Amino acid sequence: MLGFLLLYVGVVLFLNGLWLSEKIEDREIVVINVVSGIVALLVALASIFGTDANEGSIRAGALTLLFATTYFWVAYNRLVPVNGNGLGWFSLFVSITVLPVAVRTFATATTALDLWMGVNWVIWSVLWFMYFLLLAMQRPILRATAAVTLFAGIITGWIPGFLILDGFL
């Protein structure tokens, strides 16, 4: 399921980067965020409650729900008049939460994919922190956040997701 999930992480981050760059309209970005939120939610639920659930899959499912929540929240914020502060503060929580995940991933890495995932967790932590700065702290970093979102979509989602699904990783 990792390749499937990462492919959707890639597409939603890529399109959200384009949206932040004002290439996609506010309400139009809702669709991919809801679809990706549903994908992440279903993967998380299967990981947590599936017949083969164990400590590792439950941990992975809990972390995946952070992604699902982010995507649903972005969609919600495009449909109702809010300022984004709540999503910004949630992003700080997630940014801090996933740093130890990156450290653990590096510490236990045995394959190139494991190392790549460690790098991904670092990139995602930086990206969520940028959302915190942009939304909760109102820092003028929209263009930089858009660029990092596009980059993260390609490097942390699209490429590894496609390579895993095609059997190259």
Q: Give the pair of three-digit tokens for residue 61.
A: 């499912």
Mean per-residue pLDDT, 103-121: 96
Mean per-residue pLDDT, 5-25: 98
Residue 81 CA from chain centroid, whole number: 23
Q: Give the pair of three-digit tokens for residue 20.
A: 């932040």
Supply the pLDDT for residue 63.
98
* Confidence at 26, pLDDT banded by 50, 70, 90: very high
pLDDT reading at 127 higher than 90: yes
Supply the pLDDT for residue 15.
98
* Confidence at 169, pLDDT banded by 50, 70, 90: confident
Q: How far apart are CA 99 and CA 81, in angstroms?
A: 32
Mean pLDDT of the chain: 97
